[in-house]
Amino acid sequence: MCCWTRARKNARYWRLLSFVEWGGKEESKRTMASRPGFAYDFPWAKMGKMKYAIYLPMVYRGLVSPENDDNDRWHFHMSMIVLARYVMAQFFISLSRIHAITEKTRIQRKGIEFKQVDREDHWDDYILLQYIVMSMVHFCPGLGFKNFPLFEKKGMWQLLLLHVGPTEYLYYWLHRLLHHHTLYSAYHSHHHASFVTEPITGSVHPFMEHIMYTANFAIPLLGTWMCNGASMAMFYVYLMGFDLLNAIGHCNFEFVPKFFAKFPGVKYLLYTPSYHSLHHSRVHTNFCLFMPIYDYAYGTMDKTSEDLYDKAIEGKASPKTTPDVVFMAHGTELLSMFHLPFAFRSFSSRPFTTDSWLLKMLWPLTLPAVVALRFLPGVKAFVSDKHRLKNMNIETWVTPAWGFQFFIRSEFKHINAKIERAILDADERGVKVLGLGALNKNEALNGGGAFFVQKHEKNLKNTKVVHGNTLTAAAIIDKIPENVKEIFLTGATSKLGRAIALYMATKKNCRVLMCTTSEERFETIKMECPEKFRHLLFRVNNAEEKVEITEENTTDGALKKSGSFLFNRLGSFKNNNKNNKEEEKEEKNDTKMNYSSGKTCKHWVVGRHCDKKEQSLAPSKTTFHQFVVPPIPETRSDCTYTDLPAFRLPEKESKDFKTCEMTMERGCVHACHAGALIHALEGWKHHEVGAIDPEKIDVTWEACKKHGFTCL
């Protein structure tokens, strides 16, 4: 019975390991350990951002009021160490997420997702904990753990020996103990839920586990102090060195040079990122802290460690793949640079906002970035993020330009050159679809991408350029109720405005009040409309201007007139004279006039900025359908405002999404991005540039629904 129980426990343990390794259902259901144990959460877990108040005494006595600091300036040095630890963590986070640096020697091909970002959001709890523990020991009465000199040379050697000996050895066995099924399910499985690691993954553990680690890592510090070798430099060297090696082991790209890694004896003394990666992928091997010698000594070294290192450093562990779809974004406002995936991981995993006071403090840093991206030679569009959708690999590239530059005519040539080079690079790599996002397809800039296709159509062998606006138009139209007979349209002669006007008139028999000051552009659009529907298009200069609507100008009136004509023709067999008089009377009734304007229309389709004054002209209970960027301010509480055209991706088939697309919610993309994805999924062979073809709106919409995209 005892053997049966043990076998059953072991089976449950290995099932748990396999679930973590292969990303199974058990991992997906939880964002923490499978069976959280005692003291799992940190004491300040429910404090949110208020936990950082713990640092206030340190900052006050160390920086604000240094005269109140200790003789060894404890608070000042702790402030510097804490700051340095955050800076180092941010450096490695950014480094590991810059694809130009990591893609050649990446170890695990799979990306991370939102649930991992959320689980690791409190990665810095260990810094708080260790600051508290060290300060408690420092201020413990009668202990004497204080008055440290700035530097003590012999203490550095003592520190190294105490780490290599007791700390590494004890960690190895503690780590193996944490892989016992009881402790693993209660604590350590939280850490192993991260199959693919990031630099800060190494510090993501439950509170009880960090207590164990902190006690072990205190041995070199306390031991050096007991041997009279302690100094303030000791804290800098050990804590920063520890964080450095921890980040290296979890960064998921190999950068330890071959000449160093192959140097005799090094493989026993220092691990590599690929070495520790095997511990996360295979779980039951490579248990060491930083020194593999204990894995070699006790037989837990994975036999494929050296082979994986060779593959990773040569770029064969996770070979660079050609994306099926590239979506080209660009900077919007200056602070949007901090929403890039390699900037602030937590911030980029949430919809973009500028409400944070901390973010606003970083505003001066944007100016050097603007200058560098604009004037440094060789700057080109760069890879921001990588995802997977169904069987497609997707990449987001960023045009190195901010929103304001797209409205400076002298910048057009510069921006187009960046986009053009990206298109040619994509075609050379075999990309199937390149989508132009936001202002990258501005009509004044490049005619909705038509400029590039006209220039290089014969040379583009693989890539189809797509502005995605056909799906954008479809999303806007879908939000307009079926029974609507009249809309007021601003931005009416734009690419989207034209398509919406033509579609609503020809497919919905809807009257369109096109707000534009350009009679020439209006007449051009009207002439594109089939003759029998032209009577549904009207030009107005503003929302207050009225247009005369006669029953002749409506579909109902036309049908009524036709029916009246047939009735009169039949009646002519009885009394032609009487019928002629009735027909004249009927025609007079049919030409009865009324008036329409933006002030009477309850469905505004807004394609340009609409301020509070202009919105006030709309009648009560108006719905504002928008395709203007940024969205108009919601100034009317008695009206409804629809969201910008956007889509939620099919959840089960979307992988490796860890960042939000600007202001979009998680798992959502702008309509033009979705349009590029649909283009690739359908395998369409045409370029979608320039003017929108209204006849393709329904086809695109049906394809969108077929592939599981949901309009927001």
* Tens digit of each residue's pLDDT (9 = 90 or more) over 105-138: 999 999 999 999 999 999 999 999 999 999 999 9
Between CA 116 and CA 112 the distance in angstroms is: 6
Q: Taking Cα atoms as reference points, which of 531, 484, 532 lies closest to residue 512?
A: 484
DSSP-based three-state secondary structure for 485: coil
Whole-structure pTM value: 0.87
Residue 633, domain member (yes or no):
no
Q: Does 224 lie in the same domain as 333?
A: no
Token pair of 382, please?
């760069």
Q: Picking from 5-19, 47-61, 365-379, 387-401, which range would have the lowest pLDDT averaged per residue?
A: 5-19
Mean pLDDT of 664-679: 96
Domain count, the chain: 3
Q: Does 338 lie in the same domain as 291?
A: no
- Residues paired with 594 in a beta bridge: 549
Relative to beta strand 654-655, strand 382-389 is antiparallel
Q: What is the pLDDT of residue 26?
A: 34
Residue 509, domain member (yes or no):
no
Q: Does 162 lie in the same domain as 29?
A: yes
Q: What is the CA radius of gyration of the chain?
A: 33
Q: Does 256 lie in the same domain as 337?
A: no
Token pair of 413, please?
């040539």
Q: Does 56 lie in the same domain as 130?
A: yes
Contact 683, 137 (CB under 8 A): no
Q: Which of 264, 287, 313 is the last residue of a domain?
A: 313
Contact 78, 62 (CB under 8 A): yes
Residue 659, domain member (yes or no):
no
Q: Taking Cα atoms as reference points, which of 250, 235, 272 lies closest to residue 127?
A: 235
Residue 383, domain member (yes or no):
yes
Q: Does 309 lie in the same domain as 332?
A: no
Between CA 402 and CA 33 the distance in angstroms is: 43
Domain boundaries, position 9: 2-313
Q: Does 339 lie in the same domain as 303?
A: no
Q: How confident is the model at residue 577 (pLDDT cuts 50, 70, 90)?
A: very low
Share of the chain above pLDDT 70, in %: 89
Between CA 184 and CA 33 the distance in angstroms is: 8
Residue 483, domain member (yes or no):
no
Q: Does 199 lie in the same domain as 109?
A: yes
Contact 510, 504 (CB under 8 A): yes
Tell me: the pLDDT tens digits for 407-427?
A: 999 999 999 999 999 999 999
DSSP state of 460: -
Q: Does 307 lie in the same domain as 172?
A: yes
Mean pLDDT of the chain: 89
Q: Which of 260, 293, 313 is the last residue of a domain?
A: 313
Count, in order, helices (H) and strands (E) of the chain: 32, 17
Residues with Cβ within 8 Å of residue 78, at least 6 apart in sequence? 58, 62, 131, 134, 135, 235
Residue 475, domain member (yes or no):
no
Residue 256, domain member (yes or no):
yes
Tell me: the pLDDT tens digits for 492-542?
A: 999 999 999 999 999 999 999 999 999 999 999 999 999 999 999 999 998
| Residue 498 CA to its chain's centroid (Å) | 31
Q: Which of 313, 340, 363 is the last residue of a domain?
A: 313
Q: Does 398 lie in the same domain as 462?
A: yes
Relative to beta strand 433-436, strand 464-466 is parallel
DSSP-based three-state secondary structure for 515: strand
Contact 207, 42 (CB under 8 A): yes
Q: Does 253 lie in the same domain as 126?
A: yes
Q: Does 51 lie in the same domain as 139?
A: yes
Residue 49, domain member (yes or no):
yes
Between CA 601 and CA 604 the distance in angstroms is: 7
